[in-house]
Amino acid sequence: MEQALLKIENLHISFPSKKEENKVIHGISFELNSNEILGIVGESGSGKSVSSLAVLGLLPKATKIEGAITFEGKSLCKLSNKEFRKIRGNEISMIFQEPMSSLNPSMTCGEQVLEVLLQHTKLSKKEAKQEVIQLFEKVKLPRATEMYGQYPHQISGGQKQRVMIAMAIACKPKILIADEPTTALDVTVQKEIIKLLKELQQETEMSILFISHDLSLVSEICNRVVVMYQGNIVEQGNALELFHNPKDNYTKALIKSKPSQTERLKTLPSVKDFIEGTFDNDIYTTTEREAFHEKIYAEKPLLEISQLKKYYVGNKAWWFQKESLVKAVDDISFKLYEGETLGLVGESGCGKSTLGRTIVHLEKATAGTIHYNGQDLTKLSNAEIKTLRKDIQIIFQDPFSSLNPRIVVGEAILEPMIVHQLYKNDQERKEKVFEILEKVGLNKEHYFRYPHEFSGGQRQRIGIARTIALQPKLIICDESVSALDVSVQAQVLNLLNQLKVDFGFTYIFISHDLAVVKYMADQLVVMNKGKIEEIGDADEIYANPNSEYTKKLIESIPKGK
């Protein structure tokens, strides 16, 4: 029997702390064979990324590692940094989750791949440059020669990920570790990256360790799957078999936490629901949805957008040339009714976030009207807009960057109450903050903690708490769950829906994930290149899309094998 290329045996990993060791991996074992794609799936904190960093010797020096990690029969646990440097990027390479933070902003994309080739091969600089251009062509980057001189900030997220893949395969490694390589990418770009990795694997016969929190995505690319939960392996086996016949409740939860593409559940199941067996599989009937729509559409619209445009000046013109215009939002019109959720979906760059920011007046409209409760917002003064901000709020994609790291979260939630002079005094406001924290699934003690002390899902709850503190009528959710694990995403979506019932909120829900938008939205607006491709009932559009662009978005959603 052929020996495994990579073998993990009874691996334990602990991080030292002042009080006691923090054990994150509890005796896991698995193998990666030659010419195989192995998926490791689980939520944040399950230990999947820590395990891969241990393979490459990238964990902090003080980390305690027990067990065995062998590559081609040789132990990796006792290697020095110098010995690891010969392996990293050469025999075992890695694609990291966030390409922007992994790429050097002061070097061109070509120079960064060139650096890897010069370090690990005997190619001359001229030969290495030609090899980089060929690699860019191999990973299907447009205008490969021109791309060599581009800086990371000048290219899209999908293109940055392709540069990272080119860098990772430059030295023809035997193992490629892909750590969440498609998280937060558009579904269409995600599909392209998955297809590219499959093609490269078949062409080079390298082995891939594919790490993700999305089991349906993993089942589309992998031969076998390892499911991790809280530092343990709960299940492993053939990808197709595991996806269709999961044995462990945690595996079942990862599959069911994603919004269904065939039915509309009233509540998405969380991991806790499945493990405790408390999930109620209740769905909305067609009659219930029709009755709800009949009720809300009988009233006047809360928000009416008419021929809205937002243009930016593109590249500056030389001499007598005309300045180019970027039409981010181009002649958009729709109506939004009180109590409704309107979904805005499309790829990055389609204009959906710019539209949201223009509605809330973080961007000034170039033309058109925005009527809120019959009042044209484009005609208001700055002072009037400031007063209006209490009614129209926005939840941003990254809650960490929208919270002040130097003040406790309770003060961050209390701050807008002071600005808008809500309640009689600070004590009353503080009591209200305690109440809101509990409403979003946190507790009073969290008032006194700083943003860095929370997980991604908890920070998103804090962002929601800060938004609802002002008791707004309209909330714009801008990619507010795109970077969350599927089970945490389910919890946040459930929370938003419950708050909608409790407080009578109206939502504009912006996302590139059409499955999530379908679950949340009553009405759906599909955007492409600043324009509306399609608008109508969310379930109708999903079942019978008219636009080829909408069909492409739906077909790109990972459905599993």
Strand 6-15 relative to strand 22-32, pairing: antiparallel
Q: Is 495 exposed, middle or buried (0-12, 13-18, 19+ CB in 10 A)?
A: middle
32-41 pLDDT, tens digit each = 999 999 999 9
Whether residue 1 has pLDDT greater than 50? no
- The alpha carbon of 298 is separated from its chain's Cα centroid by a whole number of angstroms, namely 36
- Mean pLDDT for 218-245 is 93
Q: Which three-class secondary structure state does DSSP give residue 48?
A: helix
CA separation for the pair 556, 189 (Å, rounded): 9
Work out the widest C-alpha separation in the chain, in whole angstroms: 76
The torsion angle over the Cα atoms of residues 404, 407, 411 and 413, rounded to 10 degrees, is: 20
Q: Is residue 83 part of a domain?
A: yes
Say which range, 112-126, 255-269, 329-343, 354-368, has the weakest mean pLDDT: 255-269
Q: What is the pLDDT of residue 26?
A: 95
Q: Is residue 408 part of a domain?
A: yes
Residue at which a domain ends, from 231, 256, 281: 256
- Mean pLDDT for 515-525 is 91
Which position has the higher pLDDT, 311 or 386? Answer: 311
The H-assigned helical ranges of 343-455 are: 352-359, 382-388, 409-419, 426-439
Q: What is the pLDDT of residue 490?
A: 85
Q: What is the pLDDT of residue 323?
A: 64
Q: What length does the chain have?
A: 561
The H-assigned helical ranges of 389-425 are: 409-419
- Mean pLDDT for 446-464 is 85
Contact 42, 212 (CB under 8 A): no
Whether residue 129 has pLDDT greater than 90? yes
CA separation for the pair 396, 419 (Å, rounded): 20
Q: Which residues in 16-79 belong to E strands, given as ranges?
A: 22-32, 37-41, 64-71, 74-75
19-68 pLDDT, tens digit each = 777 889 999 999 999 999 999 998 877 889 899 999 999 998 889 999 99
C-alpha closest to that of 475 among 484, 486, 467: 467
For 307-346, b/e burial (b = at least 16 CB within 10 A) is ebbbeeeeeeeeeeeeeeeebbbbebebbbbbbbbbbbbb
Q: How confident is the model at residue 311 (pLDDT cuts 50, 70, 90)?
A: very high
- Dihedral pair phi/psi, residue 318, rounded to 5°: -100, 135
Q: Is residue 432 part of a domain?
A: yes
CA separation for the pair 48, 209 (Å, rounded): 10
CA separation for the pair 509, 517 (Å, rounded): 7
CATH number reported for the structural domain that contains residue 44 in this entry? 3.40.50.300
314-358 pLDDT, tens digit each = 655 555 556 667 888 999 999 999 999 999 998 877 889 899 999
Q: What is the pLDDT of residue 484?
A: 77
Q: Tokens 């309209």 identify what position?
A: 474
CA separation for the pair 475, 507 (Å, rounded): 5
Q: Is residue 190 part of a domain?
A: no
The total number of structural domains that make up the chain = 2
Q: Is residue 484 part of a domain?
A: no
Q: Positive or negative, the Cα torsion across 356, 361, 365, 371?
A: positive
CA separation for the pair 223, 163 (Å, rounded): 25
Residue at which a domain ends, from 217, 239, 256: 256
Q: What is the pLDDT of residue 317?
A: 52
C-alpha closest to that of 76 among 159, 143, 5, 142: 5
Q: Tokens 């499955």 identify what position?
A: 515
Q: Is residue 113 part of a domain?
A: no
Q: What is the pLDDT of residue 292?
A: 85
C-alpha closest to that of 228 among 65, 42, 455, 470: 42
- Cα-based angle 8, 9, 14 (whole degrees, multiple of 5): 85
156-175 pLDDT, tens digit each = 777 888 899 999 999 999 99
Q: Tokens 């067609």 identify what position?
A: 286
Contact 409, 444 (CB under 8 A): no
Q: Is residue 15 part of a domain?
A: yes
Q: Positive or negative, the Cα torsion across 66, 69, 73, 79?
A: negative
Q: What are the CB-based long-range contacts (under 8 Å, 24+) for 195-200?
A: 196/139, 196/140, 196/162, 196/165, 197/37, 197/165, 197/221, 198/37, 200/138, 200/139, 200/165, 200/169
Tell me the residue range of the domain where 236 lies: 1-91+209-256
Residue at which a domain ends, from 441, 467, 493: 467
CA separation for the pair 455, 515 (Å, rounded): 24
Q: Is residue 213 part of a domain?
A: yes
